[in-house]
Amino acid sequence: GVYAGGVFSLHMFVHMVLNMVAPVLLVLGGPVTLALRALPARGRGAAAGPREWLLAVLHSPLTRVLAGPGVATVLFVGSFYALYFTDLFELGMFEYWGHQLMKAHFLLVGYLYYWTVIGVDPAPRPLPHLARLGVVLAVMPFHAFFGIITMSLSSPLAEDFYRALELPWPRDLLADQFLGGGIAWAMGEVPLVLVLGALLTQWYRHDTRLARRVDRSDDELAAYNAMLAELARKRGG
């Protein structure tokens, strides 16, 4: 973490963890459900507390927009291109608050995206499992493209910033950037494959529960029909 601010490859590793790994663990843990169960409801006449604030955020129009599948996917994919391939990256690196804002942004957009795909907490606009599968498959090439483009650049990103650091060890900025692009490529694909596995598992469990409910309904209907038939037989006898 200390060297991530001065070494591009380590910086990329940290950002990929924040965007691709940490959000997966968060959404699978169901933090919203846990918070709503743990936070006490306000008493009659009492001021709104943390539970009410959380519910207000969840039900706000902004959350419905940001957590919509289309918006969340565009933010998840487009953030890397919009940040690293524009002047925003160097501007953010020159300022401490800018770097922290980047970290918070990647964690947030990762959470929003994975919430719509595999989140335990109910999403504002839930998708059927087939659509979720399509969303995951659709974003996979874009992370690979980002990594490949980063590896193939002929000039270092944020070169003025990294030169200005004057670190005490010799560095090849392009070689380090090539490594960072490889990290982005690998860490952009492997977590999505694991997410794909988690999604297919959730889909299977959902269909299994649905089949059990249908079987129970069929059994209850058969028992009801048998009861009616028995009553009719007794009356006829």
Please, are residues 26 and 111 in contact by the beta-carbon 8 Å criterion?
Answer: yes
Q: Sorting pLDDT into bands at 50, 70 and 90, what band is 228?
A: low
Q: Sorting pLDDT into bands at 50, 70 and 90, what band is 3?
A: low
Query: Residue 228: inside a domain, yes or no?
Result: no
At 172, the amino acid letter reads D
Query: What is residue 1's predicted lDDT score, i.e. its pLDDT?
Result: 55
Query: Residue 203: inside a domain, yes or no?
Result: no
Crossing angle of the two packed helices 96-118 and 8-16, in degrees rounded to 10: 30
Query: Residue 128: inside a domain, yes or no?
Result: yes
Query: What is residue 40's predicted lDDT score, i.e. its pLDDT?
Result: 83
CA 27/CA 23 separation, integer angstroms: 6
pLDDT digits (tens, 9 = 90+) for 139-173: 888 988 999 999 999 999 988 888 888 777 667 89
Please, are residues 151 and 143 in contact by the beta-carbon 8 Å criterion?
Answer: no
Please write down the HEC assignment for all residues of the chain: CCHHHCCHHHHHHHHHHHHHHHHHHHHHCCHHHHHHHHCCCCCCCCCCCHHHHHHHHHCCHHHHHHCCHHHHHHHHHHHHHHHHCCCHHHHHHHCHHHHHHHHHHHHHHHHHHHHHHHCCCCCCCCCCHHHHHHHHHHHHHHHHHHHHHHHHCCCCCCHHHHHHHCCCCCCCHHHHHHHHHHHHHHHHHHHHHHHHHHHHHHHHHHHHHHHHHHHHHHHHHHHHHHHHHHHHHHHHC
Query: Residue 206: inside a domain, yes or no?
Result: no
81 or 50: which carries more pLDDT confidence? 81
Crossing angle of the two packed helices 96-118 and 173-236, in degrees rounded to 10: 30
Check whether 219 has a pLDDT greater than 60.
Answer: no
CA 145/CA 147 separation, integer angstroms: 5
Q: Sorting pLDDT into bands at 50, 70 and 90, what band is 123?
A: confident
Query: Residue 70: inside a domain, yes or no?
Result: yes
Check whether 233 has a pLDDT greater than 80.
Answer: no
CA 148/CA 19 separation, integer angstroms: 18
Greatest CA separation for the chain: 102
CA 141/CA 40 separation, integer angstroms: 44
The total domain count for the chain is 1
Question: What does pLDDT average to over the chain?
Answer: 84
Query: Residue 97: inside a domain, yes or no?
Result: yes
Place of tokens 């028992």: 223
Query: Residue 87: inside a domain, yes or no?
Result: yes
Query: Residue 224: inside a domain, yes or no?
Result: no
Domain of 28, in residue numbers: 3-189
pLDDT, mean of residues 194-199? 82
Spatial CA neighbour of 141 closest among 199, 86, 76, 185: 185
pLDDT digits (tens, 9 = 90+) for 94-116: 888 888 999 999 999 999 999 99
